[in-house]
Structure 1
Amino acid sequence: MRDETVMLELPDIIQRPDLQSRRQRGVFALLSGLGWMLWLYLFLPLSTLLGWAFGSVRFEAYVIDSHEHSWASLSIYAVTVGLAGMALLLWAFYNYRRFRHADRRRPPAPLTTERLATSFGVRDAQVEHLQRSHVTTLRHDAWGHIVAIETVSGPCSEAIE
C-alpha cells in the first residue's frame, strides 16, 4: 500500500467589514450579542450552584432582607458597576480612536527553505530531507543546537557540523 499525503485546498477567509452596509453590520452585531446571551444563559444553573455553595444566602440575608442596609448597599454596588463600565467604555473608545486607521495585522513572510535552515543551523539539503521524511529524530547538544538527524529510513546522509 502506498502512503500518499493528500493536500486539501482550504478556502481563504475574507474579512471585509467595509463591504457590508451599516445595517448588515448592525444585524450581525445583534445576532452575535443574542448568541452570546444564549451561551451565557446555558451557564446559569452552574452559576446558581456556585452561588449556593459559596454563600449567596449570606448576601440575601445581609443585603436584600436587611431593610436598613439594602438600599445603601445596592446603590453603592450600582455606582461601582456603573463606574467600572464607564471606565471600560472610555478605554475602548480611546483604543478605537487611537488605532482606527492602523492595521498592524500583516501576514508573516513565507518561510523558505533557506530561512528555515538558517534558523536551525543546518544546510538547505538537510531541511529538504527532513521535509520529505515522515518520522524524524533530532538530537541536540547542551546548548540546543542540532547535532544529529535520524529518519526512519536511516540517518541523514550529511553530517551536522
Structure 2
Amino acid sequence: MTNVNKYYLIEDESKLEIPKYIDRPEYVRNKSMGYSLQIAGWFIFMWLFMPLLTMFFWWVEGKTIYQQMVIQAAPDSQLSLMNMIIMIAIFTGALLLWATYNWIRFYNRERRSTPLAIDERQLASSFKVNKTDILNMQQAKNLTLYYDNQGNLEFIGINHQLKKRISA
C-alpha cells in the first residue's frame, strides 16, 4: 500500500518561481516611493471604504438601540426613551445655566494682576545668597544651580559656553 500523503522536497529553488527581490534587499532601491505609495493606498482606502463601513455600523447599532429602547422597554420603566430624553434635557439645561452664570460673572473682568517688581536685595534674600551672586546670575547666559536635600541653594555654577570659530 502506498502512502498518499507524501511530502516532496524541492531541491531546485528555480522551480518555485519566487521573485528575485524577496530575499535580496539590494533589488529594492526606492524605499521612499514604496512607503509613499503605501500611505497613499491607506488614504484611498480610508476615503473610499471607511464611510461605507461607518454607515453599516450605524445601521446595525441603530437597529439594536431601537430594539432595546423602543420595542423591549416598557413605557413606565425608569429607562424608557422619554425619561432618558428628559434627563438629557435637564443635564444640558443645567450645564448651559452654569456656563451662563460663569460668563456673566467673569466676562471682561481680569482678576489676575502682574506680580510686583522686586529688587536684587529681596531676590537675594529669597534665594539666601548675597546681592553680587544675584547680579552675576542675572548676567550669565547659562547657569547650573545645585540644591541640598532641604531645598536650599548650595552652589551656583556659571557655565561659560565657548564657541569655536570655524575658519572657512
Query: Which range, TM-score by smaller chain?
Result: 0.3 to 0.5
Larger Cα-atom Rg = 2
**TM-score, scaled to structure 2:** 0.46
TM-score, normalised with respect to structure 1: 0.47
Q: Taking CA–CA contacts closer than 8 Å with sequence separation of 6 or more, which of the two structures ends up with the larger relative contact order?
A: 1
